[in-house]
Structure 1
Amino acid sequence: MHGDVRFFSLLSFLSFISLSQAFYIPGWSIKSYSDGEAIPLFWNKVYSDKTQLQYAYSELPFICPPSGRKNPGTKLVSGSKISLSLGEVLRGDRIMVSDYELTMGNDEEARYLCSHKIDRPAMRKAQAMIRDGYVAEWIVDNLPGATKYVTTDKSRMYYASGFKLGHEDYSPDTGKSTYYIHNHVDIMIRYHRAPGRDGDRGKKVIVGFEIYTKSLSAAGRNETGLPADTGIVDDGFELRMTPNVTGPPAPKYADSSYIPPFEEEPPEDDDATLTIPYTYSVYFREEEKVDWANRWDLYFKDSEDNTHVHWLAIINSLIISGLLTAVVAVIFARTIRGEIKGYKETSLEDGKIRIKPRKSAKLSGKIPEKGGVLDPLGDNDIDADGSSDEEGLEDATGWKLLHGDVFRPPPYGGLFAPIIGSGTQLLFMAVGLIFLSTVGILNPSYRGGYVTVGLILFVIAGVFSGYYSARVYKTFGGQLWQKNFLVTATLVPGMLFAAVFILNLFCWAQASSSAIPFGTLVALLAMWLLIQLPLVYVGSWFGYNRVGPWEHPIKTNTISRQIPHQSWYTKSIQAVLLAGLIPFAVIFIELLFVFKSLWQDKSGYYYVFGFLAVVSVILALVVIEVTIVATYIQLCSENYHWWWQSFFVGGGSALWVFLYCSWYYMTRLNITGFVSGMLFFSYSFLASAVYGLLTGTIGFLAAYAFVRRIYGAIKVD
């Protein structure tokens, strides 16, 4: 087995073993409850599709603050924070134990939570969040609270995660809005008989967590703060107060229904307050048709109508891939093979070709020490004396004229090698994430798991980054492999960390839960410098000193040839834009669902990983084929600067992806505010750059294998 194949196999096995304990495996984390057993309810965060800023629910100034009392039947204390995974922290989760008391099987018609007194700034905060459509996320048994809806034809039901903090009534007559806060929730817990022995003992599992909100007036409540009837909603609880100041009211407050603009500061002597009573009801209902294994299905039912769109995306991708495959097959099977065959026949007749038969490793009993997946295919090899075949290529035309220059190291090779190394690192991470998601190990139940596992895979893949970077660097004739190791370990990770840190400052300024805590930033820095950096060093040492460079089938001339004038479509910018449009056409439909999950459904419950895996495989094939075709056209134009060009062509679709993000922002999103817009475009640019780095690396590796193959074929008979 070649050196890099052995290396890849060993590291892949060790990576899987090291990560096997970190995943949520379906069926292993079932929690069953007995009748009368306490069920903890957790607060998480609030989010909106109009902004990228999230906030911790427990820190909102207009909700009941945690009392700090111990929840009956559990060891949890109200207000205590739950330990979160790295992925949960990075996605803005802030989970805390609430004061809501739920007991399996016990219905509560109405329970009093608290009466919370707020001032005018808190009220304005509530009004602003209601206006922006903020949605709260609560959690019970790892299920997010949801509202159940029925389709218009009443054929099926589906869940919409979260519940709104309030609602807004706009009066066209007055041009003013009235804001009502949802101060009462009906909590519906749906349960099913527990599987196995727990079910025989009468235990139950939770298969549904529904929340229905109401705005109940403070009038007509008894001495305990409970409304007379929670089912009757005549007058909601309006968020409105008048200033409590001495003397006659200011003209602008003459109308008690007037609500100052949000940006207007309240009077300094305005100490008016508003008391909001909070209550809740709890109901338990058995659900016979839903068991624990498929309790997440209702969260995805609203997307069933889009299944045919996913299939359309796959069919579209297959058509494009099929056409490109036919083009590549023609290039390989007819054009290149015919050119090589005709060239050899002509050279043999003229007596100009010098052919040295390959010494079979099998007959000699020797196995090459160096090699890898990028070695030439077939039975071709380098001459025993390493000499050039210029004598046999004198009458060559087209791409064959570049035999003495095609493997000339590119400019800025010291930068090219680290970029390719980082690209292989991202490739390993992407393949691992898609595989684990497709087999079900990564799923919505593993909250934040996609981010956590992605970071772990990225750090571990530092070995591959150093390995491939070192081999490419030594192939270019580099001598300072320690310098190459430092650039590889710090260039891409350092730029990503710096960008995230700067963007994080804006989130900190907004007191958003989207801001990464300082301790988490230190942990990320430690993972980078204390774990990934040594792994990159190990990979670099192994690739540079133990495996070495890739050998080229043709020796490079001392003096480079002049490149003739190039056609417009072979120039860098035009070629990248044209070639990048084809892979983009493969993924643009599926990107709609990914964007919807990331930017609109902030819960992030993207689940069609099977479709994503198929589209990703087709995308990789299309990138490979497009890069091969573009490289062949470039070589036929007698342009041997294909190294960087193949990378840019492979990653060219990243430009179209970023333009697609901009179009999505303008047509599909209602994001308002400078910070939210800046976060959207900044993270979209980073995601597009990472995608371009990954696909560009795939394109370069394909082009390199292609070039080695065709130039290795003209060397020997």
Structure 2
Amino acid sequence: MAREPLARDLCISVCICILLIAHQSTCFYLPGVAPEDFWKGDPLRVKVNKLSSTKTQLPYSYYSLPYCRPKQIVDSAENLGEVLRGDRIENSPYVFKMREPQLCNVVCRLVLDEQTSREFKEKIDDEYRVNMILDNLPLVVPIRRLDQESSLVYLHGFLVGLKGQYSGMKEEKYFIHNHLAFVVKYHKDPELQLSRIVGFEVQPFSVKHGYEGEWNENSRLSTCDPHARKLVTSSESPQEVEDKKEIIFTYDVEFEASDVKWAYRWDTYLLMADDQIHWFSIVNSMMIVLFLSGMVAMIMLRTLYRDISKYNQLETQEEAQEETGWKLVHGDVFRPPSNSDLLCMYVGTGVQFFGMILVTMIFAALGFLSPSNRGGLMTVMLLLWVFMGLFSGYTSARLYKMFKGTEWKKISLGTAFTFPATAFAVFFVLNALIWGQRSSGAVPFQTMFAILLLWFGISFPLVFVGGFLGFKKPAIEDPVKTNKIARQIPEQAWYMNPVSSILIGGILPFGAVFIELFFILTSIWLHQFYYIFGFLFIVFVILIITCAEITVVLCYFQLCSEDYNWWWRSYLTSGSSALYLFLYAVFYFFTKLEITKPISGILYFGYMLLLSYAFFVLTGTIGFCACFWFTRLIYSSVKID
């Protein structure tokens, strides 16, 4: 009796450790408790993050462009997920004072040469955006929607610059955003008289600043008068990007009181998605589930129950020989399949994926993985994958022993290497391409070594421990005996052909998730927040039900046509939904993205291929487990001499 509380406490401790590791840079935020309280006059230090572009998908550090620098650049501590995302958070020369407006603050003066002007032009062509952070809030640019005057859309970060014409120019010129009008929104606590930041916005301008005489630190700008509170806007005199051009970087700061409490300040970022679309996705998926559930209920409660009753009432051998259907293949249905070792490895890996995704979604749905902790979601997923190796090894060894296997170490080694080695090899090649572009998205050597250490130091031993425990358990006994000589399979109808059956089986699971898949891809490739984990968890449950039910239905039809090779087909039937996922990724690439560079296209399809591969392993395992349960259930229900 004492073991159950001990096991429960151990599981809770492991989960807490995972979350604490993921939150090494930002701990849990409790409603109403801010990490920083700002009095009037306290310094506010703006941090800069990567330069990002949806056209290239290659992030660069802020100081890869010759922007104004502080006296000393200090890198912020980043968790594993942030490094993998390409985040590079550093300090900046932008320093405010709480509730003290500023106008026309000069940051620095820069004279472009041929190289620096070319660098700025390249980033403007590729529509790179500058990302900044204040009190852990990302900088946004508010834009009013044309269809709804009262509604605002918030774009993350501001563009480096624009390309266009002005004042009757015949050719296009490059203009840089060198003046930033910041708006810091704060909420004042009436009881404690403390101010807390609840919003960080900016309006970028391109302004060709002017001054009298030679430039020095005390020069007064004629284009930006803090006393007259006037700024020459970008439409009057924008700042061109050309060789030997002078650029003066300036900024304004305005503070606005807000009724938004600190605990709800992220709602602006997270509630931009239209919930109606997600509810439509849920309803669409539920219709598919109800349709499949009706078919399964009809098979289980009517056809299958009638079959079992009829088979159990047969009294003579002659009557039994006249029967056809799934009972006739009872002597071959549990015959080990070809490449049974590979099947065991894939099923074990699928269980590892299932455990990782299930626990991650539970944590996320409960609010533990807030986007205020950048990289926390990816860190938790990676750590959970490592620790789920125990269940992976256990499952593959149990299945392997049922197939009369004897070398559990070989199957454990294969389980530990089959998917991770493939994924790491593809990731290494893609990372080399990113490194060749000198992008900050390239994972450093130290992080690569840390990933390998997690793989070989934790996941690998846990897979072997799970394999040992699984192989030590008694073998799973088949409900019926297997004949020594295999039965000949009759010729099948065209619609029961393995290829046709497998391709048909993958359509419905994909149909249950493709609407939510659009938002996931948009979050990944268009750099938008995704925080509707409640919807995602419901869709995940629907995916599990859909994969299980479609596989059971098609498996029943297959056995009724006296084809007993169901092992691999049950895995491939639901796993084929990954093919439709990849085809949808191709469609998304050509319709939603504006990627033009070959390297960026290779990165997109490389990562989507990995995602589809993981989806194949997950859905295939769900279908296999459902079919495994179904066949054991029906064959243990009939009397067989």
TM superposition score category, shorter chain reference: over 0.9
Q: Is the 8 A contact 2:124 2:161 kept in 1?
A: yes
In structure 2, the residue matched to 1:284 is 255
Query: Counterpart of 1:697 in structure 2: which amino acid?
Result: T
Aligned pair partner of 1:335 in 284, 293, 303:
303
SS of 1:280's partner is strand
Q: What are the within-5 Å matches in structure 2 for residues 165-204 of structure 1? A: 165-170=160-165, 176-194=171-189, 200-204=191-195
Aligned pair partner of 1:235 in 234, 237, 251:
237
- Closer, same or farther: CA 12–418 of 1 in aligned 2, 3 Å: farther
Query: Counterpart of 1:237 in structure 2: which amino acid?
Result: Q
Q: How many Å separate the matches in 1 of 2:348 and 2:165?
A: 57
Query: Counterpart of 1:219 in structure 2: which amino acid?
Result: G
| TM-score, scaled relative to structure 1 | 0.83
In structure 2, runs of 5+ residues without a counterpart are 225-229
Q: Deviations over 1:480-503 (max 9, x none)?
A: 001111111111111111110010
Residue 715 of structure 1: how far off its partner (Å): 3.2
Aligned pair partner of 2:457 in 527, 530, 541:
530
In structure 1, the residue matched to 2:411 is 484
Residue 149 of structure 1: how far off its partner (Å): 2.5
In structure 1, the residue matched to 2:227 is none
Query: Counterpart of 2:618 in structure 1: which amino acid?
Result: L
Query: Counterpart of 1:65 in structure 2: which amino acid?
Result: R
SS of 1:41's partner is strand
Q: What are the within-5 Å matches in structure 2 for residues 278-427 of structure 1? A: 278-288=249-259, 290-303=260-273, 306-347=274-315, 350=316, 352=317, 394-427=321-354
Query: Counterpart of 1:25 in structure 2: which amino acid?
Result: F
Q: Does 1:56 align with 2:61?
A: yes
Larger Rg: 1
Q: Is the 8 A contact 2:53 2:128 kept in 1?
A: yes
Q: Deviations over 1:223-259 (max 9, x none)?
A: 5355332522221110123xxxxxxxxxxxxxxxxxx
Q: Is the 8 A contact 1:157 1:298 kept in 2?
A: no
Q: How many Å separate the matches in 2 of 1:225 and 1:139?
A: 29
Query: Counterpart of 2:162 in structure 1: which amino acid?
Result: H
Query: Counterpart of 1:594 in structure 2: which amino acid?
Result: I
Aligned pair partner of 2:586 in 650, 662, 669:
662
Q: What are the within-5 Å matches in structure 2 for residues 451-490 of structure 1? A: 451-490=378-417
Q: Is the 8 A contact 2:56 2:600 kept in 1?
A: yes
Aligned pair partner of 2:475 in 530, 542, 549:
549
Q: How many Å separate the matches in 2 of 1:31 and 1:648?
A: 53
In structure 1, the residue matched to 2:514 is 588
Q: How many Å separate the matches in 2 of 1:10 and 1:635?
A: 45
Aligned length: 622
Identity of aligned residues (%): 38
In structure 2, the residue matched to 1:377 is none
Query: Counterpart of 1:299 in structure 2: which amino acid?
Result: Y
Residue 301 of structure 1: how far off its partner (Å): 4.5
Q: Is the 8 A contact 1:225 1:277 kept in 2?
A: no
In structure 2, the residue matched to 1:683 is 607
Q: Is the 8 A contact 2:19 2:380 kept in 1?
A: no
Q: Is the 8 A contact 1:110 1:226 kept in 2?
A: no
Query: Counterpart of 1:644 in structure 2: which amino acid?
Result: W
Q: Is the 8 A contact 1:159 1:301 kept in 2?
A: no
Query: Counterpart of 2:300 in structure 1: which amino acid?
Result: F
In structure 1, the residue matched to 2:52 is 47
Residue 599 of structure 1: how far off its partner (Å): 1.1
In structure 1, the residue matched to 2:500 is 574
Residue 716 of structure 1: how far off its partner (Å): 7.2
Q: What are the within-5 Å matches in structure 2 for residues 193-272 of structure 1? A: 193-194=188-189, 200-220=191-211, 223=216, 224-225=218-219, 227-228=221-222, 229=224, 231-233=231-233, 234-241=236-243
Q: What are the within-5 Å matches in structure 2 for residues 8-87 of structure 1? A: 13=12, 15-22=14-21, 23=23, 24-27=27-30, 30-60=35-65, 62-68=66-72, 79-87=73-81
SS of 1:98's partner is strand
- Closer, same or farther: CA 423–14 of 1 in aligned 2, 3 Å: farther
SS of 1:346's partner is coil
Q: How many Å separate the matches in 2 of 1:565 and 1:226?
A: 91
Q: How many Å separate the matches in 2 of 1:505 and 1:341?
A: 63
Q: How many Å separate the matches in 1 of 2:165 and 2:506?
A: 47
Q: How many Å separate the matches in 1 of 2:7 and 2:554?
A: 29
- Closer, same or farther: CA 573–460 of 1 in aligned 2, 3 Å: same
Q: How many Å separate the matches in 1 of 2:636 and 2:154?
A: 59
Q: How many Å separate the matches in 2 of 1:190 and 1:294?
A: 13
In structure 1, runs of 5+ residues without a counterpart are 69-78, 242-272, 353-390
Residue 450 of structure 1: how far off its partner (Å): 1.0
Query: Counterpart of 1:239 in structure 2: which amino acid?
Result: V
Q: Is the 8 A contact 2:34 2:262 kept in 1?
A: no
- Closer, same or farther: CA 405–541 of 1 in aligned 2, 3 Å: same
Q: How many Å separate the matches in 1 of 2:448 and 2:596?
A: 28
CA RMSD between the two structures: 2.3
Q: How many Å separate the matches in 1 of 2:480 and 2:119?
A: 71
Query: Counterpart of 1:63 in structure 2: which amino acid?
Result: Y
Q: Is the 8 A contact 1:554 1:712 kept in 2?
A: yes
SS of 1:176's partner is coil
- Closer, same or farther: CA 59–419 of 1 in aligned 2, 3 Å: same
Q: How many Å separate the matches in 1 of 2:13 and 2:338?
A: 36
SS of 2:470's partner is helix
Q: How many Å separate the matches in 1 of 2:242 and 2:449?
A: 44
Higher mean C-alpha deviation, range 566-575 or range 466-475 = 566-575
SS of 1:558's partner is coil
SS of 1:130's partner is helix
Q: Is the 8 A contact 1:313 1:590 kept in 2?
A: yes
Q: Deviations over 1:112-145 (max 9, x none)?
A: 1111233212211211211221111100111000
Q: Is the 8 A contact 1:15 1:460 kept in 2?
A: no
Q: Deviations over 1:578-630 (max 9, x none)?
A: 11111111111111111111111x2x411111111111111110111000011
Q: How many Å separate the matches in 1 of 2:319 and 2:108?
A: 91
Q: What are the within-5 Å matches in structure 2 for residues 626-705 of structure 1? A: 626-705=550-629
SS of 1:440's partner is coil
Residue 201 of structure 1: how far off its partner (Å): 3.8
- Closer, same or farther: CA 175–548 of 1 in aligned 2, 3 Å: farther
Q: Deviations over 1:426-455 (max 9, x none)?
A: 001111111111111112112111100000
Residue 6 of structure 1: how far off its partner (Å): 12
SS of 2:94's partner is coil
Q: Is the 8 A contact 1:467 1:542 kept in 2?
A: yes
Residue 637 of structure 1: how far off its partner (Å): 1.5
| TM-score, scaled relative to structure 2 | 0.93
Q: Is the 8 A contact 2:312 2:639 kept in 1?
A: no
Q: How many Å separate the matches in 2 of 1:674 and 1:393?
A: 64
In structure 2, the residue matched to 1:518 is 445
Q: Deviations over 1:371-393 (max 9, x none)?
A: xxxxxxxxxxxxxxxxxxxx996
Q: Is the 8 A contact 2:112 2:242 kept in 1?
A: no
Q: How many Å separate the matches in 2 of 1:275 and 1:575?
A: 67
SS of 2:15's partner is helix
Q: How many Å separate the matches in 1 of 2:333 and 2:532?
A: 43
